[in-house]
Amino acid sequence: MNGAVLAFALRRAAATLALLLALSLLVFALLYLAPGDVARNLLGTRNVTPEALARIRELHHLDEPFLAQYWWWLSHAVTGDFGTSIRTGGQVGPLLLDRTGVTAATAGLAFLLSVLAGVPAGIATAVRRGRPLDRVIVAASVVGVSAPGFAVGLILLYVFALGLGWFPVYGTGEGFLDALWHLVLPAVALAFGLGAFVVKLTRAAVIRELDQDYVTFARGRGLSERRVLRLVLRNAAIPIVTSLGLMVAYLFGGTVLIEVTFALPGLGSLMEESVLFKDIPVVQALTLVVALVVSVTALAVDLSYLAIDPRVRARAVRR
């Protein structure tokens, strides 16, 4: 049993690794996608002398075949060596590390907020399907899904920071509490759209389960409504966990815009600056890191099925 589960986990991990490998190829190709000469792109706006170009060519093995270059880049990337930033001239790895904290905190806070608010709201609306509360929350969630985070962020800034003065306008603050205080508005702006998705998905999942025969049968044999709800939630957990995994990818798209809006020095704003500056090594590194996080989340979701869905467990064992 345990061996089979382990084999299942390993198989899924291998598939994730293969996907990441393919993605890294795609990411490496970014360098070639950008219009213009690769060496020039890597030099950026620094003074372009023939010697500098030659040095870059040699440094990046640009005269070798594409796959050899890719291998060279990848073998360094896995050790955390993503080369030097064109813009700052510094190492990319430390630059990323430096910026990770803010992003992790904002995204984590937003994720927490949206799950803590979205899942209960989704359940409440599903149970009260068609009643006024349901209508109001569903309407609000459509607005949430439709509103880009930066627009929400600007409105929040205007109302709560500039207007009411409850929150700081920009920056990250000093010390833990102050830092948290600075992150509230960005996290809320990010959580607004995310939470709306969570509400929609949770509601749909719970409604689907409520319509199943086993719910009717549970009631038909006299189980209490609380028991029935627990039964439903246990079954709805499977699709809900899946969608929470998907949320992580969504979170990364949103965080770029939020960090730009709130001038937070995180990975997102680093991405924006690097893209605008065509700082390709940084962009490559960032994209690869995001791909890694997203695929590892997907893997975690897959593995969590082993715990929450006995059918998946059985299938894993049978193979």
Partner 1 sequence: MTEGPVTEGPVTEGPVTPLLDARDVRVTSAAGVLVAGIDLTVAPGETVAIVGESGSGKSMTARALTGLLPEGVHATGRLELSGQAYDLAARTPWQRIRGSQIALLLQDPFTSLSPVHRCGEQIGWALPRAGRAAGVARLLAEVGLPSEVAGRYPFQLSGGMRQRVAIAAALAAGPGLLIADEPTTALDVTTQHEVLELVAGLQRARRMGLILITHDLRLARARADRIMVMYAGRLVEEGPAAEVMDRPAHPYTARLAACDPPVTHRLPALPTIPGSVPRPYAVSDACAFADRCDLAVEACRTAEPVLAEVAHRPGNSGHRAACVRPSDVRPVAAPLLAVPPAAAVPPEAGLSPALLTVRGLTKRFPGSAAPALDGVDLEVAAGEAVAVVGESGSGKTTLARCVVGLERADGGSVEFGGGATGPRRVQYVFQDPYSALNPGLTVGASLAEALKAAGRPRSEVSGLLDLVGLPAAYARRRPRALSGGERQRVAIARALAPGAEVLVCDEPVSALDVSVQAQVLNLLSNLRRDLGLTLLFITHDLAVARQVADRVYVMHRGRVVETGPVGGVLGAPAHEYTQRLLASVPAATRAE
Partner 2 sequence: MKPVKRRMKRRPPVVAILSAVVLAAVAVCAAGRELLAPHALDQDVYLGVVGAGVEGHLLGTDQLGRDILQLSLAGARSALAGPIVVAVGSMVIGVLLGTFAGYRGGIVDMLAGRYADLLLALPSVLLAIVVAGLVGRGYWVTVAVLIVLFSPSDVRLVRGAVMEQTPRPYIESARILGIRPTRIMFRHIAPNIVPIVVANLLLNVAFALVALSSLSYLGLGVPPGAPDWGRQLADGRALLGDNPLAAVVPGVLIILTATAVNLLGDWLSELLDRRVVAR
Binding-site ranges for partner 1 (CB under 8 A): 129-130, 212-214, 216-225, 227, 231, 234-235, 238, 308-311, 314, 318
Q: Return the one option of partner 1, partner 2, none that residue 220 interacts with (CB less than 5 to 8 A, by type).
A: partner 1
Residue 240: how many CA atoms within 13 Å on its side-chain side?
Answer: 27
Q: Return the one option of partner 1, partner 2, none that residue 219 interacts with (CB less than 5 to 8 A, by type).
A: partner 1
Residues with Cβ within 8 Å of 192's Cβ and at least 6 positions away in sequence, in order, are: 144, 147, 149, 152
Tell me which residue of 23, 15, 40 sits closest to 77, measured CA to CA.
Answer: 23
How near is the Cβ of 307 to partner 1 at its closest, in Å?
11
Q: Return the one option of partner 2, partner 1, none that residue 234 interacts with (CB less than 5 to 8 A, by type).
A: partner 1
Residue 74 or 308: the one with the smaller Cβ distance to partner 1 is: 308
Q: Return the one option of partner 2, partner 1, none that residue 146 interacts with (CB less than 5 to 8 A, by type).
A: partner 2
Residues with Cβ within 8 Å of 276's Cβ and at least 6 positions away in sequence, in order, are: none
Distance of CA 85 to the CA centre of its chain: 24
How near is the Cβ of 175 to partner 2 at its closest, in Å?
27
How near is the Cβ of 12 to partner 1 at its closest, in Å?
18
- Residue 264 Ramachandran class (φ > 0 left, ψ -120 to 50 alpha, else beta): beta
How near is the Cβ of 233 to partner 2 at its closest, in Å?
21
Distance between CA atoms of residues 135 and 35, nearest Å:
50
- Contact positions toward partner 2, by CB under 8 A? 19, 22-23, 26, 30, 33-35, 139, 142-143, 145-148, 150-152, 154-155, 157-158, 162, 211, 213, 216, 249-254, 256-257, 260-261, 271-272, 275-276, 278, 280, 283, 287, 290-291, 294-295, 298
Q: Return the one option of partner 2, partner 1, none that residue 310 interacts with (CB less than 5 to 8 A, by type).
A: partner 1
Neighbours of 155 (CB within 10 A): 13
- The CA–CA distances, whole Å, from 209 to 91, 127, 186, 225, 232 equal 51, 11, 34, 14, 6
Let me know: does 189 contact 109? Beta carbons within 8 Å: no
How near is the Cβ of 114 to partner 1 at its closest, in Å?
25
